[in-house]
Amino acid sequence: MQVKCSLCGKVEDICKIHKDYAKLAKNKDAPYFCEHCLFRVKTQAKDVQAPPKPI
């Protein structure tokens, strides 16, 4: 199944073992992030959660 990354627009072919396959098969409008963008999103989310360190 071909899916398009919601962030960078990269088209990828995912197979049934992909963790988002069922979700995307059910809802084609569900957001999909390629590995690269997923990593970026996760890293950013972690940065936001972490409290600012006092200097």
- State the residues that interact with Zn ion by CB under 5 A: 5, 7-8, 10, 34, 37
Residue 8 or 30: the one with the smaller Cβ distance to Zn ion is 8
Instruction: Supply the minimum distance, in Å, between the C-beta of residue 41 and Zn ion.
Output: 9
Residue 15 or 52: the one with the smaller Cβ distance to Zn ion is 15
Instruction: Supply the minimum distance, in Å, between the C-beta of residue 22 and Zn ion.
Output: 20
Contacts 24+ apart (CB under 8 A), 29-38: 31/6, 32/3, 32/4, 32/5, 32/6, 33/5, 33/6, 33/7, 34/5, 34/7, 34/8, 34/10, 36/8, 36/10, 37/5, 37/6, 37/7, 37/8
